[in-house]
Structure 1
Amino acid sequence: MTHQETSRRSVLAGLGLAAAAAAPMVAVAPPAQAATPENAAAVNSINLYPADAYGAVADGVADDSAALQRAIDAAAAAGGGTVVLRAGKQYLLGKSLRLKTGVALASDRARATLVLTSGYADPHVLAVKDVSVVTLRNLKLDCGERRPLLAGVHVTASTDVILDNLHVEGLTAGAYDRPSGVGSTALVRIGDSHRLQVVGCRLTKGYIGLNVVGNSTHILIDDCDVHDLSQFGMHVHGTVASHTEHLTISRCRVERIGGGPHPEFSGTPIYITSGGTIHPGAQKHRFVRATDNTLTGNYKAFKFGGNADMMAIYDIHDGFFDRNVIFGGGDAGLSTDRCRKLVIANNIIGHCNTVGINVWEVVDCTVVGNVVYNNYQNFDGHLIAEDRGGIRTYARDGKKSENVVIVGNRSFDDQATKTQDFGIFIHPRTRGVDIGANTLTGNKTGLFKTKSAEDITFSFVVTLDALPTTGWWDKNMVVQLRNPAPGQPSRWICTVGGTPGTWRPEAALDVPAAITAAPAYAGQLALANNALYVAKGTASAADWRKVGDLA
């Protein structure tokens, strides 16, 4: 095999085109030679368009934007192909590159670098607009803090687009307009696009890492590193006229978001919203899933340069959020708002500022199989003192959370100095909550507390060595004694909530107070309120059993 053939196979493999390496060898124009009618057929015979063949110098000094655009245009005119950039080289751009249908702009895994001239004035660097079947692969884009930029990579009104192994950085200037919910700059912005994949990318040193806006569908964001951003790691935004459907965020690592010098730089690693608080008629995102992501906070409180909610999932109908690891910082670890039909399952969430999982203003939500621990850290110490739990339901004045199932979770505090008030806390503006079997241990104030009287049911039983003497116990909580003394009832129920609550034997609840003294002998009968009672034992009031009504 010749040296040319070996080099060619290496380039093809780096582009993910190894299978094409078996094609016949073609002559490629010298690096600095522009394409001509005479050599075009040879250059294009396997749909590869080396940037050097179209005049790109790749020395980081000469402006290569015109040469790269020529190569893109030539590939598009021939029906599609791959414009090849040399890995390890710098291509200087004085103007944005406009991708066209059927064209890939790619290097090998070591990446070619695109840098900008000092006078760069375009709003985007790589523009993918009104096209389809476009790929950007194995490229580094250094935005160089150029003030006119709104986005490094801008994809709009396009279909079947792949962003693979891109490294985009250097766009930290920006502002966030709260009424519209729009951030001014993003390293990658996607709008009104369909069937788009962002895979294996690194987004860093920016204001917003990745921004999805408009009416977009079937968006996959997978295996990306997003870090050191001052506002949002990933921001999915809708309006009264737009929303995203079939969005998946998976296997991403998002850390060091926020921490700027101003309170508005609160930082949210993953923020999905349509601005429903400001715009009540906002659209709802549909069919959203976030799975297997790792979010790490910056250990500062909100409004002190810290994170707001770590995973903020707002304005969503039909969502599934599972197997995420969320740790350290944040207001809440995972927080919902203005949502319907959510499943929050098998996440691990710990050491957040207020609560681990905040079920805020949601209808039809299942919280199952999560491990939530050591929350309400109150980093910087400025939070309002109130009851908080590892898992909490909540709502604004005049609103409610409804039809919530909380089952199979473990919520605990194992710190020497405990901070997490309750394993589960139910706020007054909550109704229709069914709390099944959960493991709640070692919390600061108690295991469970509800301030709502609206249709709250729970079915867990706490096993203890003795009746409680400390901590808050809510009405109707049940304690099962491990080894009750002879004749002592094994199950007790809290009849008045408090610290440690008022307890009665569960079996004696229907016995009138007049006959609750211990029976004198087994089989003794008692009459009260036209009902007949019999003593099954002699140790306590729990031994009385109602036989029937006489009336």
Structure 2
Amino acid sequence: MENNLDQKKRTVNPLVSRRKLLAAIGGGGAALAMEGMLGSSLLAEAMSGEKEKQTGKDKQKGNAASQASLCEYNVMDYGAIGDGTTDDTGAIQAAIAACSAAGGGVVCFPAGTYLSGTIQVGGHMKLRGVGQDVTSLKLKPGTNDALLVGTLTENVTISDMTLDGNASQQTTGSTVIFWKCKRITIDHIKVINSHVIALNMSNVMASRITRSHLKGTIGNTVISFSLDDPQYAEGNNWVMDNLIEDGYLDGIIYNTNRGVISGNIIRNNGLVPNNTAGGVYINNKYGIVISNNLIEGNDGNGIDIIDATEIISEGNWCVNNNSAGIMYASVTNSQIIGNVCKNNGKAPATGQDDGISILGNSHLVTITGNRCFDDQSVKTQRYGIHAIDTSHDLLITSNILRGNLIGSLSTVGSSNVISSNLN
């Protein structure tokens, strides 16, 4: 059985004034072991939109038989019913076991709703449905654990299905957990009703989350990448072209090194009251590109970077976030380029109510080509760019900063180069 993940305040540079809960997934190995890795169970609409309603469903169901014929291991051949009430755990695990015994292959889920307890996923394997709204795996009531788990494995793909954590019928449980794994692909799935975390990726490398709709958690972040094993420090993971929304804490916590977060819609996260969880959160990591995302309506900062280096935030649209559009605190050798930061600062943490807020001992940061403004009748975004504390050696050029509540640009510190901004 999975224990509740302990929650704690984020301990940030004291110059960053905010309160934020964060699951105790530093020390991810131990925490995740309790979150289903060693549990007894292991022994046994926006993305799709209105276009994927009945017409789309009928087309997918019409193709289900032909798609199933391409699969090596059809779960119905192992006794799965897919009626939403029968417990299909044993049948699904039997199909996966047969696939594993053969060294890998495709495990196919035809149209239906498969009620299941925790499923252990093997390596060199694809779990494939016939569409997000046609194939559904639903965690059976009282499991209080993960729905899908992969441990110490590689080359796994999960695609074309809905994973339903059935949170109202659980007391805990992330919907998907991968622990110490490589080359995991999550593609074109929907994850809903997660109790703790939708996708819990601990010590995961060279993996991709793409084209998916990840909606709703009642205890933590939507996507979490955590790291406590140096062997997995070079993450090199991609999170691309997803809709990530309605998380209790942040949309994405990316706490491993190297990676790309691009082309996502990240909205309405930080549902926990009186906190500042936001869109994308990174702490004490390096080598990450955050680009071309739409980040809106989150409770905290749109992009929230702390004690990090070599971070690029480029081409993002950060709007209507309660704190800053983009916040760098004690960040070095990094860039903020070509972003739009609009109408932020609605209910901010102290010192984080600007288009771009630079805090702590941030230095050697290039801030160029950004458009930071507020066009509300009652403005909330205080400055276009605001650098405070001991920030220094900043290059701030060619930004358009007109139309904010207090001013366009304010900096402190020494050796800043400021030129060619429209103030």
Question: Against the structure 1 CA distance between its residues 388 and 460, is the aligned structure 2 distance closer, same or farther, given a 3 Å change threshold?
Answer: farther
1:458 aligns with 2:418: yes
Question: Against the structure 1 CA distance between its residues 16 and 307, is the aligned structure 2 distance closer, same or farther, given a 3 Å change threshold?
Answer: farther
With structure 1 as the length reference, what TM-score do the two structures score? Answer: 0.59
Question: Matched residues in 2 for 1:314 and 1:424: separation?
Answer: 21
Match of 2:127 among 136, 158, 162: 136
Question: Matched residues in 2 for 1:247 and 1:299: separation?
Answer: 23
Contact 2:278 2:300 in 1 (8 A): yes
Match of 2:267 among 281, 289, 296: 296
- 1:154-193 to structure 2, matched below 5 A, reads 154-172=149-167, 185-193=173-181
1:432 aligns with 2:393: yes
Question: Matched residues in 2 for 1:190 and 1:164: separation?
Answer: 15
User: For residues 90-123 of structure 1, what are the alpha-carbon distances to aligned partners after superposition, in whole Å with 9 as ceiling and x for unaligned?
Assistant: xxxxxxxxxxx41322124xx332214xxxxxxx
Question: Matched residues in 2 for 1:393 and 1:133: separation?
Answer: 44
Give the secondary structure class of the aligned counterpart of 1:458: strand
Contact 1:421 1:443 in 2 (8 A): yes
Residue in structure 1 matched with residue 319 of structure 2 by the alignment: 350
Give the secondary structure class of the aligned counterpart of 1:268: coil
Residue in structure 2 matched with residue 497 of structure 1 by the alignment: none
User: For residues 238-281 of structure 1, what are the alpha-carbon distances to aligned partners after superposition, in whole Å with 9 as ceiling and x for unaligned?
Assistant: 126453511100011011112xxxxxxxx1111122xxxxxxxx
* Post-superposition offset of 1:307: 5.3
* Post-superposition offset of 1:453: 2.5
Residue in structure 1 matched with residue 358 of structure 2 by the alignment: 393
* Post-superposition offset of 1:137: 1.0
Question: Against the structure 1 CA distance between its residues 403 and 14, is the aligned structure 2 distance closer, same or farther, given a 3 Å change threshold?
Answer: same
Residue in structure 1 matched with residue 67 of structure 2 by the alignment: 14
The AA in structure 2 aligned to 1:106 is C
Task: Mark the runs of 5 or more structure 1 residues left unpaired by the alignment.
Answer: 1-8, 18-46, 80-100, 117-123, 176-182, 259-266, 274-284, 464-551
Structure with the largest fraction of strand: 1
1:153 aligns with 2:135: no
Segments of 4+ moved more than 4 angstroms: 9-12, 49-77
Residue in structure 2 matched with residue 239 of structure 1 by the alignment: 228
* Post-superposition offset of 1:298: 5.6
- 1:52-67 to structure 2, matched below 5 A, reads 52-56=76-80, 63-67=87-91
Residue in structure 2 matched with residue 319 of structure 1 by the alignment: 288
The AA in structure 2 aligned to 1:345 is E
User: For residues 299-357 of structure 1, what are the alpha-carbon distances to aligned partners after superposition, in whole Å with 9 as ceiling and x for unaligned?
Assistant: 86x643x6512111223211111000011132111011121111110000011112100
Residue in structure 1 matched with residue 247 of structure 2 by the alignment: 257
Question: Against the structure 1 CA distance between its residues 61 and 325, is the aligned structure 2 distance closer, same or farther, given a 3 Å change threshold?
Answer: closer
Contact 1:14 1:107 in 2 (8 A): no
* Post-superposition offset of 1:446: 0.8
* Post-superposition offset of 1:425: 0.3
Question: Matched residues in 2 for 1:343 and 1:326: separation?
Answer: 16
Residue in structure 1 matched with residue 58 of structure 2 by the alignment: none
Question: Matched residues in 1 for 2:229 and 2:78: separation?
Answer: 46
Residue in structure 2 matched with residue 287 of structure 1 by the alignment: 258
Question: Against the structure 1 CA distance between its residues 53 and 411, is the aligned structure 2 distance closer, same or farther, given a 3 Å change threshold?
Answer: closer
Give the secondary structure class of the aligned counterpart of 2:128: strand
Q: Is the radius of gyration larger for structure 1 or structure 2?
A: 1
Contact 1:257 1:307 in 2 (8 A): no
Question: Matched residues in 2 for 1:223 and 1:63: separation?
Answer: 29
Give the secondary structure class of the aligned counterpart of 2:320: strand
Residue in structure 2 matched with residue 373 of structure 1 by the alignment: 342
Identity of aligned residues (%): 21
* Post-superposition offset of 1:297: 1.4
Question: Matched residues in 1 for 2:292 and 2:388: separation?
Answer: 26
Give the secondary structure class of the aligned counterpart of 1:352: coil
* Post-superposition offset of 1:61: 5.9
Structure with the largest fraction of helix: 2
* Post-superposition offset of 1:378: 1.0
With structure 2 as the length reference, what TM-score do the two structures score? Answer: 0.76
Match of 2:381 among 400, 405, 420: 420
User: For residues 406-461 of structure 1, what are the alpha-carbon distances to aligned partners after superposition, in whole Å with 9 as ceiling and x for unaligned?
Assistant: 000000011111111111001122111010110011111111111x2221110125
User: For residues 449-481 of structure 1, what are the alpha-carbon distances to aligned partners after superposition, in whole Å with 9 as ceiling and x for unaligned?
Assistant: 11x222111012548xxxxxxxxxxxxxxxxxx
